[in-house]
A and B are shown apart, each in its own frame.
Chain A
Amino acid sequence: DAGITQSPRHKVTETGTPVTLRCHQTENHRYMYWYRQDPGHGLRLIHYSYGVKDTDKGEVSDGYSVSRSKTEDFLLTLESATSSQTSVYFCAIRLPGANEQFFGPGTRLTVL
């Protein structure tokens, strides 16, 4: 599993509340990614990071922010959750060399 954990694994929250999801890796990989998975859309990139304090937007970044203050942690924040953000969120790291990405176990978020 490339040493990736996500927390929480499941969360139910209400519209308008802030939510933070955490991705933790143990192997000092430089690149980390946040995706969301929705039926019929595959995986869509939200934000990614290429180092501590270095982040950039993906294709569906509106309503999300990220932070990376340590190599091992990449946080995804929904400042004010909406029902359209109900989804499964995956974190990934990129292995050097083959550019292959490995995925964490996922967080299922429900916004009521």
Chain B
Amino acid sequence: ELKVEQNPLFLSMQEGKNYTIYCNYSTTSDRLYWYRQDPGKSLESLFVLLSNGAVKQEGRLMASLDTKARLSTLHITAAVHDLSATYFCAVDMDSSYKLIFGSGTRLLVRP
């Protein structure tokens, strides 16, 4: 059974600081996705990582995938308040195109 674990589950950080969210998963997969969710809203796709060593960047967020370590990271550079949200990673479960989600990391960026 594929399990996906995120840590930390809650992160309070000051504006301007850097931090990393971790996503570990338990079985082999080459495809990992990051989503953002604002309170009361739906999920918004952030990054699609499709191979070992994949790195994607958008603004202050950078995601990477190490399939050998079964680990993805979401790095936040010089955080700003607008990044406050909950971030989910999700892993593809074999070829059925089912996603297994982590529990989410709630990020709060303080002034």
**Which A positions have Cβ atoms within 8 angstroms of B?**
31, 33, 40-45, 48, 50, 56, 58-59, 90, 94, 98-106
Contact = CB atoms under 8 A, between A and B. Distances in A.
The main secondary structure of chain B at its interface with chain A is strand
B48 A98 contact: yes
The main secondary structure of chain A at its interface with chain B is strand
Q: Give the top 8 A-B pairs by smallest Cβ distance, nearest first.
A: A42-B101, A43-B101, A103-B43, A42-B103, A103-B42, A98-B48, A105-B42, A42-B104
B55 interface: no
A23 to B, nearest CB: 12
A25 B17 CA distance: 40
Interface of B: 4, 31, 33, 41-43, 45, 48, 50, 88, 90, 92, 96-104
A104 B42 contact: yes
A99 B97 contact: yes
5 contacts: A40-B103, A42-B102, A43-B90, A56-B96, A100-B48
Contacts of A43: 43, 88, 90, 99, 101
A40 B86 CA distance: 12
